[in-house]
Amino acid sequence: MAINVQFFGAAGEVTGSCHLVTVGDQRLLLDCGLIQGGRKDEARNRDPFPFDPASIDAVVLSHAHIDHSGRLPLLVKSGFRGTIYTHRASRDLCRIMLKDAGYLSEKDAVWENRKRERKGLEHIDPLFTVEDTKLAMRQFKGLVYAKKQRILPGVKLRLADAGHILGSSIVELWLEDGGETRKLVFSGDLGRSGMPVLEDPAVIHQADHVIMESTYGDRLHRSWEDSYREIHEVLNDATGSKGNILIPAFAVGRTQEILYLFARYYDDWRLDRWHIFLDSPMAIEATRVFTQNTDLFDAEAAELWRQNKTSPLLPNLHISRTANQSMAINQIRRGAIIIAGSGMCTGGRIKHHLKHNIWREQCQLVITGFQARGTPGRALVDGAQHIRLWGEEIRVAAKIHTIGGLSAHADQTALKNWYANFEGRPPRDPCTWGRTGDHRPVQMPPPTALRSGAHSASG
Ligand code: ZN
């Protein structure tokens, strides 16, 4: 039989996950993510797909993160007419996240076109629009975990919990050709055991071929306990300082984890001394999706979440939906914990809160997630003395704290342990993306012929 896998992204880099599996005459795409990074990298999102989108029979999406889902609206716009299979929670999160990506793309195009006009250049179209994302959503089909089903002739699919974000899935595929069946496992992004809210990544025992992530294949994470102790210390120190605490947070995942941790340690961390503001319409919407899916939580989170219908149990949580509600927070000088996006301070309401707080030494900024190079969040972590907001140079006097251990990705040990669970005749050389170098087709050898390092695309 012939199974052919081609890697079109997240190979030699960690974004733009997109892999094409061909078995017999069926063509199946695993993920269709946006390339993220600097301007030059992101410009590649405008390149035509290296395959004909109309020739793809189906897509299986591992999870809602934009670097896995963000080019689906483009795929549909370019002629893909098949079904996009994913977990139902991923579908619901994609509705929010793709819409936001469409909105940002429209806004970027307006900004870019103003510049182009001044240079006498032609206008560009947005990469995709909010309307494009709505059209793409029509092709989604939401699935549940642990149910094996036929999705194409000769192709069966089952999703298992990857424990990375809500709805994230390890993709198990049974591929049949010429009377023979092979099992391909695609890890998607793998979470960490003990992560707040989510279950641990599912253990898979059998596969003929494995494609797995390796984002943190060269690193070990700090323990959860250490990270929680750091948050506790920041809260303690901040209490006497008569200022506010700002937490820039990603709307999906990190925000809900922080809310949950605040609820879980409400008494220990003396959170009754604070007013907590959730100031992000997107995070509020995402929190609603979490609330609808408490059956996917670990037991402790499910119990805590169920005690309150709309958010984890926090008596002093203020939900700030409108711009007026958000602006009202600017009047508060002390005692507020403000959770607002964007996670790297590149846009969103956090910029307004920075303007009102970052120059005051009584205030604290708590960074809880990865900060890419070139973002204001990264500059603050690196000790910038000033930041520019709407053309205004603002002094940085607030204390900056980085809580480094909250990553939603498995680290080196966890990746190795997850892979070690494959039993019987183990596929000894997983095709780890992030390590392979080019886009040449990879012909999967029969499992008995697998040799260590023998068939990665870069050789
Ligand atoms: Zn992810």
Is the model's pLDDT at 426 over the cut of 90?
A: no
How would you classify residue 374: left for phi > 0, otherwise alpha for psi between -120 and 50, otherwise beta? left
Distance 237 CA to ligand 1 centre (A): 33
Between 11 and 211, whose confidence is greater? 211
Distance 68 CA to ligand 1 centre (A): 7
Distance 164 CA to ligand 1 centre (A): 7
Residues with CB under 5 A from ligand 1 (ion): 65, 189
Distance 325 CA to ligand 1 centre (A): 31
Distance 335 CA to ligand 1 centre (A): 33
Distance 252 CA to ligand 1 centre (A): 11
- pLDDT band at residue 39 using 50, 70 and 90 as cut-offs: confident
pLDDT in tens, 72-125: 999 999 999 999 999 999 999 999 999 999 999 999 999 999 999 999 999 999
pLDDT, mean over the chain: 89
Distance 398 CA to ligand 1 centre (A): 31
Distance 63 CA to ligand 1 centre (A): 7
The predicted pLDDT at position 152 comes to 97
Please tell me whether the peptide bond between 342 and the residue prior to it is cis, using omega within 30 degrees of 0. Answer: yes
Distance 377 CA to ligand 1 centre (A): 20
Point out the least confidently predicted range of 21-30, 145-154, 234-243. Answer: 234-243
In angstroms, the CA 262 to CA 300 distance is 14
Distance 369 CA to ligand 1 centre (A): 13
For the segment 329-343, the average pLDDT, to the nearest whole number, is 95
For the segment 42-59, the average pLDDT, to the nearest whole number, is 93
Using CB atoms within 10 A of its CB, is residue 208 exposed (0-12), middle (13-18) or buried (19+)? buried
Distance 362 CA to ligand 1 centre (A): 35
Distance 189 CA to ligand 1 centre (A): 5
* CA-to-CA separations, 186 to 6, 61, 119, 159, 431, in angstroms, rounded: 13, 10, 46, 10, 10
Distance 91 CA to ligand 1 centre (A): 14
Distance 253 CA to ligand 1 centre (A): 10
Point out the least confidently predicted range of 34-48, 49-63, 320-334. Answer: 34-48
Contact 252, 283 (CB under 8 A): yes
Distance 240 CA to ligand 1 centre (A): 37
The predicted pLDDT at position 309 comes to 66
Among 35-49, 180-194, 293-307, 445-459, the range with the most confident prediction by mean pLDDT is 180-194
Distance 17 CA to ligand 1 centre (A): 10
Between 443 and 368, whose confidence is greater? 368
Using CB atoms within 10 A of its CB, is residue 219 exposed (0-12), middle (13-18) or buried (19+)? exposed
Q: Which residues of 179-206 are buried (b: 16+ CB within 10 A; e: fewer)?
A: eeebbbbbbbbbbbeebbbbbbbbebee
Distance 190 CA to ligand 1 centre (A): 8
Distance 210 CA to ligand 1 centre (A): 18
Distance 449 CA to ligand 1 centre (A): 32
The predicted pLDDT at position 373 comes to 82
Distance 4 CA to ligand 1 centre (A): 25
Distance 147 CA to ligand 1 centre (A): 22
Distance 271 CA to ligand 1 centre (A): 30
Distance 64 CA to ligand 1 centre (A): 7
